[in-house]
């Protein structure tokens, strides 16, 4: 049957159209060639041939230069190479070649010329995609009551809530299976991060839309740069790059979701755990540094966002062990161990100048560890040394980074004392050291004395307070400093102590049995202790405390996994404004107290209202039951043979008197 169904096959034809093989792949067109007459033709071609021979082999007689009838060249020529690759190379390397000032060569593919020729002369306006306004990523900061948000993961459900102190929190968003592994926030809290098998996703804005996706199969670690412009993802399963290498680490631009560069995990005995030990961001998002540990050790500093190696060379550090950026300057600190006659050394080097700012050598060293104070004012180095052949001693070397020549103060522990952990006070000059001596744990608070005091006294670091830490396994400082929670985590019964380190008063104490995690809110007003299902399967849930240890809410949540406060960006107020605020705090707090009172009055009124309704309901129910009972009286009597409900008035009260002889004694009465 020959019938036209009126079908349009053009789309299918286009799809299956056979590509005519292009035979002009090896021909290029060179434009902007000087116009010459026959006399100079020979010379020009010689020059041209010389220039282009650097790209590849030109076929003999491969150059054709068209001429005008008057014998002058037209100013362009065709050139045939031996292979298409040579032609490609000629385009890549010689397009834009300056023969002289007036003649910059334009080299294009012969095939493209056709396209250029067919190009419409009329200007076609570029279709600009309509502007879609994006939601404000910091919208939560404009909450009228300036409440903080937090995210909770329980079972498969993830929810984000506004904290309402002791009242139940307001839900902002919740979804089941929102995240496959865990949840996280970006450094300034603008993005909420969910982890999936396929990669990570960022969410945010008032409606919690997906903002960007970063594909990275089986990703298990996410690390945002301090100013959240970049993010690093790590996966234990390497993926193959286009040139066949196996890479584990990706560095992304957050706003555009483009992959800046990927790396393999540096080969080492140490496994990269949850903490990323190889890549570290500089404080200002300018650089990311990679550590190559070991004998051929090096620190490679890459500039962001180009990810080019700074000055095209790494910092060579033989036997590099560990390194850290200063939290407030582009300064690197690292240490190398003692090998043979070379002492162990801590080095501080500034970037990008590569000036070594300070080094210090140590002898008989077993191990070092570097701890930066969050303001970058002090670098504390813990040094474990051999005192004798069998005993070791730990000391702390405090580098005063902001003072001239970086003086160093030393604190030594007792020989038998063993350091468990060290905790710097954020933004402060105190640090806490948890030590063990013969199974007795103690917690010592030290303070780095300010400069003036240090010059007058011999010791620049002063011990402030010693606390018995029998049930304490960690110290959790408030993000604003001064206050801290001493906690017995992991099998230590969950003892909690709330301290004010200004005058070392214990503000309060509490207990959260089997507590696994402690999270301060970003303002330092609340502490959340939690028992996560990942570690303990019983009594999972959380308790919210004030910084003084007053329990606000306690919730048992089955399958509770993770709690995460939403971080806040740094304040926009100047130091002066902050000082002013602190001075006038009393005025403000009055206003807040009023608001709080109003809130709690409203809440208690609500409770009263609810209770009244419940009581009414209960009374009605009882009345109903009473009526039913009354109506069933006859049937009941039939069953029992008497009325079991009747108040038995024939009951005889029998009073028994029991006389017991308690004591007998004989007395002779005269």
Partner 1 sequence: MRPILLNGHTRALTTVKYNYDGDLIFSVSKDSVPCVWYSSNGERLGTFEGHNGTVWTLDISRDSTRLLTGSADNSMILWNVNGGQQLFKWETQTAVRAVAFASGDKLALFVTDATMGQKSTIHIVEIAKDSSKQTSKILNKFVIKGSKATRALWGKLNQTIITGHDDGTVCVFDAKTGEVLKSVKEHSGPITDIQFGTTQDYFITSSKDHCAIIFEAENLSIYKKFETERPVNSAAISPIKPHLILGGGQDAMSVTTTSAKQGKFEVRFYHMVFEEEIGRVKGHFGPINTLAFHPSGKGYASGGEDGFVRVHHFDDSYFKFQFPEERE
Footprint on this chain of partner 1 (rule: CB under 8 A):
493, 513-514, 538-539, 556, 608, 611-612, 614-615, 617-618, 621-622, 624-626, 628-629, 632, 635-636, 639-641, 644
Measured from the CB atom, is 43 or 636 closer to partner 1?
Answer: 636
Q: Which residues contact 292 (CB under 8 A, 6 or more apart)?
A: 266, 298, 299, 300, 314, 320
3-state secondary structure of 29: strand
DSSP 8-state secondary structure symbol assigned to residue 172:
E
Query: Which of these, 363, 358, 278, lies nearest to 323 by C-alpha position?
Result: 278
Measured from the CB atom, is 588 or 640 closer to partner 1?
Answer: 640
The alpha carbon of 39 is separated from its chain's Cα centroid by a whole number of angstroms, namely 72
Q: Look-up: residue for tokens 């004030």?
A: 546
Q: How far apart are CA 485 and CA 475, in angstroms?
A: 6
Q: How far apart are CA 263 and CA 278, in angstroms?
A: 11
Q: How far apart are CA 419 and CA 101, in angstroms?
A: 72
Would you mind telling me the total number of residues written for the chain in this entry? 670
Q: What's the closest the beta carbon of residue 600 comes to partner 1, in angstroms? A: 17
Measured from the CB atom, is 444 or 516 closer to partner 1?
Answer: 516
The DSSP string of 72-103 is -B-SEEEEEESSHHHHHHHHHHHTT-BSSSS-
Measured from the CB atom, is 46 or 629 closer to partner 1?
Answer: 629
3-state secondary structure 110-140: HHHHHHHHHCCCCCCCCCCCCCCCCCCCCHH
Q: What's the closest the beta carbon of residue 154 comes to partner 1, in angstroms? A: 15
Q: What's the closest the beta carbon of residue 554 comes to partner 1, in angstroms? A: 10
Asked whether the beta carbons of 62 and 50 are under 8 A apart, the reply is no
Q: What's the closest the beta carbon of residue 624 comes to partner 1, in angstroms? A: 8
Q: What's the closest the beta carbon of residue 389 comes to partner 1, in angstroms? A: 43
Q: How far apart are CA 495 and CA 509, in angstroms?
A: 8
Q: Which long-range contacts (CB under 8 A, 24 or more apart) does 584-590 make?
A: none
* Token couple for 102: 């007036």
Measured from the CB atom, is 588 or 642 closer to partner 1?
Answer: 642
Q: What's the closest the beta carbon of residue 486 comes to partner 1, in angstroms? A: 20
Asked whether the beta carbons of 510 and 551 are under 8 A apart, the reply is yes
CA within 13 Å, CB half, 80: 9
Q: What's the closest the beta carbon of residue 636 comes to partner 1, in angstroms? A: 7
Q: What's the closest the beta carbon of residue 476 comes to partner 1, in angstroms? A: 22
Q: What's the closest the beta carbon of residue 625 comes to partner 1, in angstroms? A: 4
Measured from the CB atom, is 112 or 539 closer to partner 1?
Answer: 539
Asked whether the beta carbons of 107 and 30 are under 8 A apart, the reply is yes
Parallel, antiparallel, or unpaired for β 221-224 and 230-240? antiparallel
Q: How far apart are CA 465 and CA 447, in angstroms?
A: 10
Q: What's the closest the beta carbon of residue 166 comes to partner 1, in angstroms? A: 15
Asked whether the beta carbons of 233 and 218 are under 8 A apart, the reply is no
Measured from the CB atom, is 236 or 644 closer to partner 1?
Answer: 644
Q: How far apart are CA 325 and CA 277, in angstroms?
A: 12
Q: Look-up: residue for tokens 């080969």?
A: 267
Q: What's the closest the beta carbon of residue 538 comes to partner 1, in angstroms? A: 7
Measured from the CB atom, is 588 or 618 closer to partner 1?
Answer: 618
Measured from the CB atom, is 579 or 636 closer to partner 1?
Answer: 636
Asked whether the beta carbons of 321 and 293 are under 8 A apart, the reply is yes
Measured from the CB atom, is 504 or 615 closer to partner 1?
Answer: 615
Q: What's the closest the beta carbon of residue 509 comes to partner 1, in angstroms? A: 16
Measured from the CB atom, is 176 or 538 closer to partner 1?
Answer: 538
Measured from the CB atom, is 504 or 556 closer to partner 1?
Answer: 556
């Amino acid at each position: 049957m020959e019938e036209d169904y009126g079908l349009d096959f053009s789309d299918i034809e286009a799809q299956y159209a056979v590509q005519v093989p292009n035979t002009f792949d090896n021909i290029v067109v060179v434009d902007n060639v000087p116009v010459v007459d026959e006399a100079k033709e020979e010379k020009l071609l010689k020059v041209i041939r010389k220039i282009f021979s650097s790209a590849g082999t030109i076929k003999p007689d491969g150059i054709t230069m068209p001429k005008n009838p008057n014998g002058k060249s037209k100013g362009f020529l065709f050139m045939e190479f031996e292979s298409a690759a040579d032609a490609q190379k000629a385009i890549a390397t010689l397009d834009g070649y300056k023969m002289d000032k007036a003649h910059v060569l334009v080299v294009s593919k012969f095939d493209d010329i056709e396209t250029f020729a067919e190009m419409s002369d009329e200007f076609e306006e570029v279709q600009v995609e309509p502007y879609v306004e994006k939601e404000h990523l910091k919208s939560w900061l404009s909450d009228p009551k300036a409440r903080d948000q937090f995210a909770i993961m329980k079972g498969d459900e993830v929810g984000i809530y506004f904290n309402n102190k002791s009242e139940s929190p307001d839900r902002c968003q919740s979804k089941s299976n929102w995240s496959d592994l865990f949840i996280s926030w970006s450094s300034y809290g603008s993005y909420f991060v969910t982890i999936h098998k396929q990669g990570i996703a960022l969410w945010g804005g008032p409606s919690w839309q997906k903002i960007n996706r970063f594909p990275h199969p089986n990703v298990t670690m996410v690390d945002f740069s301090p100013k959240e412009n970049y993010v690093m993802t790590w996966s234990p399963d390497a993926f193959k790059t286009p040139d066949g290498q196996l890479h584990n680490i990706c560095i992304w631009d957050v706003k555009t979701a483009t992959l800046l560069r990927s790396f393999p995990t540096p080969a080492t005995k140490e496994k990269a755990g949850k903490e990323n030990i190889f890549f570290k961001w500089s404080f200002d998002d300018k650089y990311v540094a990679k550590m190559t540990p070991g004998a051929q050790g090096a620190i490679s500093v890459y500039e962001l966002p180009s990810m080019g190696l700074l000055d095209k060379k790494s910092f060579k550090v033989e036997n590099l062990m560990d390194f850290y950026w200063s939290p407030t300057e582009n300064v690197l600190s690292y240490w190398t161990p003692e090998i043979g006659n070379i002492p162990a050394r801590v080095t501080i080097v500034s970037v990008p100048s590569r000036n070594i700012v300070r080094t210090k050598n140590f002898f008989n060293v077993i191990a070092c560890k570097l701890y930066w104070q969050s303001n970058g004012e002090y670098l504390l180095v813990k040094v474990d040394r051999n005192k004798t052949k069998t005993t070791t001693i730990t000391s702390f070397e405090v580098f005063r980074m902001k003072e001239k020549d970086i003086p160093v103060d030393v604190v030594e522990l007792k020989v038998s004392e063993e350091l468990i952990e060290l905790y710097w006070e954020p933004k402060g000059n105190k640090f806490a050291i948890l030590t063990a001596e013969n199974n007795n744990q103690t917690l010592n608070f030290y303070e780095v004395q300010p400069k003036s005091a240090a010059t007058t006294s011999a010791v620049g670091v002063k011990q402030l307070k010693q606390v018995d830490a029998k049930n304490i396994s960690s110290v959790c400082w408030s993000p604003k400093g001064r206050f801290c929670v001493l906690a017995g985590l992991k099998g230590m019964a969950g003892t909690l102590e709330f301290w004010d380190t200004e005058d070392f008063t214990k503000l309060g104490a509490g207990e959260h049995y089997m507590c696994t995690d402690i999270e301060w809110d970003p303002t330092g007003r609340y502490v959340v202790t939690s028992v996560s299902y990942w570690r303990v399967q019983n009594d999972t849930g959380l308790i919210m405390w004030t910084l003084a240890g007053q329990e606000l809410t306690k919730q048992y949540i089955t399958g509770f996994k993770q709690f995460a406060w939403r971080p806040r960006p740094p304040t926009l107020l100047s130091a002066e404004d902050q000082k002013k605020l602190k001075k006038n705090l009393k005025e403000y707090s009055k206003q807040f107290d009023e608001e709080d009172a109003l809130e709690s009055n409203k809440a208690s009124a609500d409770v009263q209202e609810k209770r009244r309704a419940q009581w009414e309901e209960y009374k009605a129910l009882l009345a109903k039951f009473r009526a039913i009972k009354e109506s069933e009286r006859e049937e009941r009597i039939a069953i029992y043979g008497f009325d079991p409900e009747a108040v038995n008035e024939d009951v005889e009260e029998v009073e028994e008197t029991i006389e017991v002889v308690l004591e007998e004694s004989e007395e002779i009465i005269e």
